[in-house]
């Protein structure tokens, strides 16, 4: 049986924004998707072009993390260029091309990050509503929409127990349609989005949810549904949000061998609760992620099972000088919140998946220096216990995992 919550969630996700739209004229102006920063080229007021580039170096005491990090990896590069064109006051076109090299997870081939038409349906001083059509960045949590732009990150790496880079493409964007809206009040702004479309499933997603590389393919079975509700205070000091998505994937085996996996399905609900407080020189951020999952009909070698992954973090940043910023973050993540120490996983797999693959506990400290409006340098240290966040593509042999490991990374970034 599929997730019953999925059948209930889709109409509820549809109902909330539409009720607001119908009763209040709820609306929103476009988010910062078309921009990479405050710099760029403007050709009049209608055409804007922005871009960014970053290069990182990652060194770990053990385990592969963004490439061959035990030997120091330089396979962490991002290049992006985007443009937006205001056709008229109600229509804007925007797109971004991204090249991302991330160890064995991504080889740097240029891809369309987003490409959309933004249609403003109604707008005045109190509200605005619109829709987007095309490849749309998903508004999940505080950072997913802008996760490709280094200048928008709290650190070199996003909190991995919430924003998994190993399944990044699954949650990054959707090919479909989105409704958005904002309602402005004296005390703050309420926002809502609702979208549906086809998610992107690549070999990283397949390896993560299938726990390895099998002779077959994993493909999207149904459209995903995504929704978000947000509140921003009038002073922009407080931001609260609840966002979520559903996804379903079907496994198609290439072999008829009776000992191979059978055509099974994976159903996922992924949701994030977000809170952030910003003062003049410091910010506090916390997010909680829940991910109920079901595996069905894979045959006797992969019995049906349910699990709920969980992740959360608390983070603080402090701007001790105008161009300098410190960051501290603690995060925990679990493959199954009912098996936090991984002991059940190790028993069920007869030791093939050690207990430490089921959790991650990470303490990170970082410093950022904004040299000027175009250039930024960062350094970051992380202490890891457990291996839940590690990519199965980069680390196919679970027996080689080291439970206790450290990461030191530096990054240089440029924008125009």
Write out pLDDT tens, residues 47-67: 999 999 999 999 999 999 999
Least confident piece of the model among 21-30, 297-306, 377-386 = 21-30
Is the pLDDT at 28 greater than 90? The verdict is: no
- Spell out a b/e string for 182-204, using b for 16 or more CB atoms within 10 Å of the CB, else e: bbbeeebbbbbbbbbbebbbeeb
Report the C-alpha dihedral over residues 198, 203, 209, 210, rounded to 10 degrees.
130
Which is more confident, 22 or 128? 128
* Residue 229 CB partners (closer than 8 Å, separation 6+): 16, 17, 190, 191, 192, 241, 242, 243
CA distance 147 to 154: 10
Which residue intervals of 302-373 are DSSP H helices? Answer: 343-348
Dmax (CA) for the chain in angstroms is 65
What integer pLDDT is reported at residue 405 of this predicted model? 98
> Token match 């006051």: residue?
89
Which is more confident, 39 or 181? 181
The full set of domains in the chain, from first to last, is 4-35+132-415 (2.40.160)
CA distance 22 to 298: 44
Tell me the pLDDT tens digit for each residue of 321-337: 999 999 999 999 999 99
CA distance 334 to 263: 27
Confidence grade of residue 18 (pLDDT, cut at 50, 70, 90): very low
What integer pLDDT is reported at residue 216 of this predicted model? 84
Is the pLDDT at 88 greater than 90? The verdict is: yes
What integer pLDDT is reported at residue 221 of this predicted model? 86
CA distance 123 to 379: 43
Which is more confident, 34 or 122? 122
What integer pLDDT is reported at residue 349 of this predicted model? 86
Is the pLDDT at 222 greater than 70? The verdict is: yes
Tell me the pLDDT tens digit for each residue of 333-387: 999 999 999 999 999 888 888 999 999 999 999 999 999 999 999 999 999 999 9
Q: Which two tokens stand for residue 157?
A: 């790496």
In Å, how far are 66, 333, 372 from 412, measured between CA atoms? 16, 28, 12
Over residues 125-129, mean pLDDT: 93
**pTM, two decimal places:** 0.87
Over residues 266-289, mean pLDDT: 97
Is the pLDDT at 17 greater than 80? The verdict is: no
What integer pLDDT is reported at residue 42 of this predicted model? 56
* Residue 62 CB partners (closer than 8 Å, separation 6+): 70, 402, 405
* Residue 100 CB partners (closer than 8 Å, separation 6+): 77, 78, 79, 106, 108, 111, 148
Q: Which two tokens stand for residue 220?
A: 């999207």
């Amino acid at each position: 049986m599929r997730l019953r919550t999925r059948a209930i969630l889709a109409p509820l996700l549809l109902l909330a924004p539409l009720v607001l739209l119908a009763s209040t004229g709820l609306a929103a102006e476009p988010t910062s998707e078309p921009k990479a920063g405050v710099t760029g080229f403007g050709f009049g007021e209608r055409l804007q072009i922005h871009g960014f580039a970053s290069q990182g170096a990652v060194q770990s005491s053990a385990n592969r993390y963004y490439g061959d990090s035990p030997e120091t990896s330089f396979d962490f590069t991002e290049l992006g260029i985007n443009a937006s064109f205001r056709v008229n006051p109600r229509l804007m076109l925007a797109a971004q091309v991204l090249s991302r090299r991330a160890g064995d997870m991504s080889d740097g081939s240029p891809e369309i990050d987003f490409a959309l038409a933004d249609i403003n349906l109604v707008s005045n001083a109190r509200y605005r509503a619109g829709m987007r059509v095309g490849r749309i960045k998903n508004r999940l949590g505080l950072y997913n929409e802008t996760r490709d732009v280094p200048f928008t990150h709290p650190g070199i790496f996003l909190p991995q127990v919430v924003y998994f880079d190993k399944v990044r493409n699954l949650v990054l964007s959707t090919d479909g349609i989105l409704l958005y809206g904002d309602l402005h009040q004296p005390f703050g702004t309420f926002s809502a989005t609702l979208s549906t479309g086809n998610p992107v499933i690549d070999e990283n997603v397949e390896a993560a949810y299938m726990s390895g590389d099998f002779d077959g393919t994993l493909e999207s079975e149904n459209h995903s549904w995504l929704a978000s509700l947000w509140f921003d205070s009038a002073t922009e000091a407080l931001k609260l949000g609840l966002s979520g998505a559903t996804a379903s994937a079907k496994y198609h085996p290439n072999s008829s061998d009776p000992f191979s996996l059978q055509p099974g399905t994976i159903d996922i609900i992924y949701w994030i609760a977000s809170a952030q407080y910003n003062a003049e020189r410091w910010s506090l951020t916390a997010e909680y992620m829940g991910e109920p999952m079901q595996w069905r009909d894979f045959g006797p070698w992969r019995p049906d099972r349910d699990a709920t992954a969980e992740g959360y973090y608390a983070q603080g940043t402090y701007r001790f000088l105008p161009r300098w910023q410190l960051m501290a973050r603690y995060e925990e993540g679990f493959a199954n919140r009912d098996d936090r120490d991984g002991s059940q996983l190790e028993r069920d797999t007869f030791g093939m998946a050690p207990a430490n693959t089921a959790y991650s506990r990470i303490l990170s400290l970082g410093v950022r220096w904004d040299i000027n409006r175009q250039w930024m340098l960062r350094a970051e240290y992380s202490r890891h216990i457990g291996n839940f966040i590690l990519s199965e593509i980069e680390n196919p042999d679970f027996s080689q995992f080291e439970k206790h490991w450290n990461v030191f990374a530096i990054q240089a970034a440029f924008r125009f």
